[in-house]
Structure 1
Amino acid sequence: MKINNPVLPGFNADPSIIRVDDTYYIANSTFEWFPGVRLHESKDLVHWNLLPSPLSTTELLNMKGNPASGGIWAPDLSYSDGQFWLVYTDVKVTEGAFKDMTNYLTTAKDINGPWSSPIRLNGVGFDASLFHDEDGRKYLVQQTWDHREYKHPFNGITLTEYDVSTKKLKPETARTIYYGTKVKLVEGPHIYQKDGYYYLFAAQGGTVFTHQEVVARSTSLDADSFATEPGEVFLTNFDTPDLEIQKQGHGALVSTPGGEWYYASLSSRPWNHDNESAYDPRGWSTLGRETSIQKVEWDDEGWPRIVGGHGGQVEVDAPKDAIITDAPLDHSRHDDFDDDVLDNDWNTLRVPFNAEMGSTGSGNLRLVGKNSLASTFDVSLVASRWQAFNFDAETKVKFNPFSYQQMAGLTNFYNDKHWSWIFVTFDENKGRVIEVAENNRGNYTSYLKEDAISIPANIEAVYFRTKVRKQTYTYEYSFDGKEWKEVPVKLDAAVLSDDYVLQTYGGFFTGAFVGLAAVDYAGYDEPAEFDYFDYKEL
């Protein structure tokens, strides 16, 4: 059996992997998307099933107003003392000199919850993880942020003891244990114990094409005591541009019951336009940062090495003791909205799906029109990840706007500045019409304008479909669900990629979503009713 990378396709960044008995768990970042932290489980490291997200209430997470790519950064999942421990960061500022954030801790006896009320830890830096020492002590290990313009903002890895009895950190114990290498941007730390050493795994170089993972070790947890692994770096694709997977680095280590070792890392699969070099630009990552798994061996000096070299492999040997896990082969799905709660594949922006946003059940998703898709506050949008380069997504919507300030339809969405959609709206001369529009770096374009498609008076609901074909995507409509007409607008999928967003914005950490949305910035809460949603990977 082989691990085929990425094992978690689509936006599943910053994996934290653990094993409890014979089951592996991965926790991933979710940034501004709600619920917070994405969880998967497997018994073979090959096939993975989605679990309920732990941060599903506003008590545990409230991101209203958070900037795009703020929110949940690099959660850390661990298991000790008969329970799961989850450390997570809520980042409130993504650009500029400051990274205002709060690190929290929650625990649960069962991976499916319930999860305890959050314990506020600190705001020293992001990417915090909890290390459970063999002597029973616990430490928070984290990137350290320095706002001073005359210093480098990534000021090493700080370790601070956590007091279980008081549920507080002991700041007097804080010390910097590692400053990284000249690559800089050291972050994403995790500590492991093996053969008398503490091993520190940390990311460097930023989560772009220069990304890498470095390993250091020490016999103590004293300040500045960790020495970097000699020779080639542990994991990077900086010098392997032809490999299908790129950007590997930030991640976590896990052992199997039989004593094999694996490393789960973020990665991406960039593509290029036909008229571009495949080296510069190296590509456009519309599926965001995904999770890949590499096999690890230990050399004669006790240092970990990636099997096949530091670039990793697309196809990796699965564990010898793997227990075959039943999981879907692709992520195609159909939702008739029969349940009164949204399934685990749906996400909302910054806050949970609630009565103000809409309702679901009895074969209908009702979304109440709120702010525009350019807002970071009250947005009526439910969406799920692009998890394949080629797919069709389809819906049926009933909407009766009386103002051009009211819109409802099908969207492809990256963040508040980068999205497009096909939607029903109102035109003063034509009445109900269909329009296609795009927001590109905050610049809004209506593509049909005076040629907006009139909806016949006898048509109650309209069908919408998007066809995503890796480099480009289009929109279609139908009045009967059988005869489809393509809107003559072909959009560049690169606009919905991490790499494109990075050119103008520091928060570029998520990936493209497809979803359903309703807007009424007039403030009259005009509702839209969606009959179904169908997502089919090709």
Structure 2
Amino acid sequence: MYRTKIKNPILRGFNPDPNILKVDDNYYIVVSSFEWLPGARVYHSKDLVNWNYETDILKNQVDLRGNPQNGSIWAPQISYDNGLFYLVYTDVKSTKRPFKDSHNYLITAPTIKGPWSKPVYLNSSGFDPSLFHDRDGRKWLLNEIWDYRLITGNKSAGIIMQEYDDQKQQLVGPVYKIFNGTELAKTEAPHLYKYGDYYYLITAEGGTGSGHSVTVCRSKKITGPYELDPHYPMLTARDKPDSPLQCAGHASIVQTPLGKWYMVYLCTRPLLGKAAILGRETAIQEVIWTEDGWLRLKDGGNGPLVETEILTTHQSKQIKNTDFFDDFNSELKEEWNSLRILVDDSWCNLKGRKSYLRMTSGDSIQSLFEHHMLAIRQKDFHFDAITKLDYNPKSYNQMAGLMLYLNDDNYLYTYLTYDENRGRVIRLMKCKNGEFTLFPTIIPIEDGEVELKVEVNGPTGKFYYRINGMDTWQAVGTPQDLLFLAGGFTGNFIGIGVHDMDQKSGSYADFDYFAYHGFDSL
């Protein structure tokens, strides 16, 4: 046996709400994707040390057009029973208080890569669904319940449970309220486990920000009443302002063949102590069962750890692998994400020009419907990203280029466009908390392919361009403060896109390649 030292987080960049599952000798973690498609991203590991992208599950089952910022796919959960993978997830259509339109669905597949079934609608009473397969063959759906009557801003009112009939494909029988939550409030993310004589309910409390926590309770009867862990919360950074990992919560657990138990949970690494540009990430720690039957962190205390150990059957070393490259010579790399719409040949294909990605223009960069962009997660505080494109705009309303994009209220975009007096030009725009800025710099460029680059060094970033084999990069504007590209439920993305406000599909750009290289170390 070997103890492998690792550093958290194990999933860097925007990878929140982790749910872990072991099937045979494979470990899977599924994370929330919100408005980015395909949804419900899955990572795979053989040893809990190194994790690789495996698949995205929601490829044809959802329509997210028009969904609000920070809505859409919340807290997917995977489980396995009798040769089938089950996925339950929430599609949030509105978050405008006091209500929340959160619809829960279930799909199944024979393998983690599908094919996945059509969604079965479950309920809309709250978010964060979780399916528990009991030893007697019955299945139970748990979810947070939302009560619009509460006078608090967050209206989470505890955890409910109802039986799911696999044959009828619907919820049946009474709804049980099994946990009201504690004074930490904002109780959500329920996961149920059977260990020994008890059913253990693991929940998140305190909100997904600095007060985030993990609370555990238990019962010998599945429908309760549940006894609260007297030493809750069992994991939190709410009272640890000096911890490099903040916002620790939303946990799930797994047992290894070596008899060890591990907990995965979300965390953040705030840049300069205040801006989680990378979004909410996934960490792991070993947990133990105490003699009196409660779950505790093996290392003691209740705080998240940057450095920890994993017990493995073979020597292993944690490897950092955040680089990404696509030369668009064959199939589009699966790790790409699009915003609210799936990639299809109608706007994004490799057929229009050999060894290029042809992207047809969509709506504006702030659209909630047809935003034609491809993007990857920012996984490092220090990185550069480069793309080369060929684009011939005929109007100032036509644009294509490279962007840093958190959401429709917060982005930086350097792009090729057209100026009535100068012809084809490069410009830079910014939106910060909904306030738009068009920088005065206008750079005329001759016809031909253009390379665009962004260099990010922690809290600042700078855009560059290069054309016709130039040896040196030329700046586009001045260095930009990036701390505003943090907040909400997602992390920052680096993307390429084409936009046209004159006419739908009125122009197209051909991209030769896209490269991302991260400079952070483990």
Superposed pair shares fold, TM > 0.5: yes
Inter-partner Cα distance in structure 2 for 1:352 and 1:488: 33
More strand by share: 2
**Normalised TM-score (structure 2):** 0.95
Query: What does residue 463 of structure 2 align with?
Result: 475
Query: What does residue 135 of structure 1 align with?
Result: 136
Contact 2:428–2:477, Cα closer than 8 Å, also in 1: no
1:60-92 CA-to-partner distances (Å, cap 9, x unmatched) read 111111111111100011111121110011100
Aligned length: 510
Query: What does residue 523 of structure 1 align with?
Result: 503
Q: 2:293 aligns with which of 302, 309, 315?
A: 302
Q: What aligned pairs does 1:417-432 form with structure 2 within 5 A after superposition?
A: 417-432=409-424
Query: What does residue 347 of structure 1 align with?
Result: 337
Query: What does residue 90 of structure 1 align with?
Result: 91
Q: Secondary structure at the match of 1:126?
A: coil
Q: 2:443 aligns with which of 439, 446, 453?
A: 453
Inter-partner Cα distance in structure 1 for 2:345 and 2:501: 18
Inter-partner Cα distance in structure 2 for 1:242 and 1:416: 32
Q: 1:439 aligns with which of 409, 415, 431?
A: 431
**Normalised TM-score (structure 1):** 0.92
Contact 1:157–1:177, Cα closer than 8 Å, also in 2: yes
Contact 1:43–1:322, Cα closer than 8 Å, also in 2: no
Inter-partner Cα distance in structure 2 for 1:67 and 1:233: 32
Q: 2:14 aligns with which of 11, 15, 18?
A: 11
Q: 1:492 aligns with which of 481, 485, 493?
A: 481
Q: What aligned pairs does 1:243-262 form with structure 2 within 5 A after superposition?
A: 243-262=243-262
In the alignment, does 2:181 pair up with 1:180?
A: yes
Query: What does residue 38 of structure 1 align with?
Result: 41
Runs (5+) with no aligned partner, structure 2: none
1:203-229 CA-to-partner distances (Å, cap 9, x unmatched) read 000110110000000111235x11111
In the alignment, does 2:391 pair up with 1:414?
A: no
Inter-partner Cα distance in structure 2 for 1:95 and 1:191: 30
Superposition deviation, residue 486 in structure 1: 1.6
Q: What aligned pairs does 1:219-230 form with structure 2 within 5 A after superposition?
A: 219-223=220-224, 225-230=225-230
Inter-partner Cα distance in structure 1 for 2:208 and 2:315: 32
Q: What aligned pairs does 1:186-335 form with structure 2 within 5 A after superposition?
A: 186-223=187-224, 225-272=225-272, 282-308=273-299, 309-321=301-313, 324=316, 329-335=320-326
Inter-partner Cα distance in structure 1 for 2:262 and 2:407: 33
CA RMSD of aligned residues (A): 1.5
Which amino acid counterpart does residue 283 of structure 1 have in structure 2? K
Inter-partner Cα distance in structure 2 for 1:461 and 1:436: 18
Inter-partner Cα distance in structure 1 for 2:151 and 2:460: 43
Taking every aligned residue pair, what percent have the same amino acid on both sides?
41
Inter-partner Cα distance in structure 1 for 2:197 and 2:132: 16
Query: What does residue 117 of structure 1 align with?
Result: 118
Contact 2:26–2:44, Cα closer than 8 Å, also in 1: yes
Inter-partner Cα distance in structure 1 for 2:443 and 2:15: 37
Q: Secondary structure at the match of 2:484?
A: helix
Which amino acid counterpart does residue 485 of structure 1 have in structure 2? Q
1:431-461 CA-to-partner distances (Å, cap 9, x unmatched) read 11100110112221111x2x400112xx311
Contact 1:13–1:29, Cα closer than 8 Å, also in 2: yes
Inter-partner Cα distance in structure 2 for 1:509 and 1:353: 23
Query: What does residue 379 of structure 2 align with?
Result: 387
Which amino acid counterpart does residue 174 of structure 2 have in structure 1? T
Runs of 4 or more above 3 Å deviation = 149-152, 320-325
Query: What does residue 347 of structure 2 align with?
Result: 357
Inter-partner Cα distance in structure 1 for 2:397 and 2:328: 27
Runs (5+) with no aligned partner, structure 1: 273-281, 499-507
Q: 1:156 aligns with which of 155, 158, 174?
A: 158
1:253-307 CA-to-partner distances (Å, cap 9, x unmatched) read 11111110000001110021xxxxxxxxx41000000000011011121101012
Which amino acid counterpart does residue 194 of structure 1 have in structure 2? Y
Inter-partner Cα distance in structure 2 for 1:69 and 1:392: 26
Contact 1:43–1:324, Cα closer than 8 Å, also in 2: no
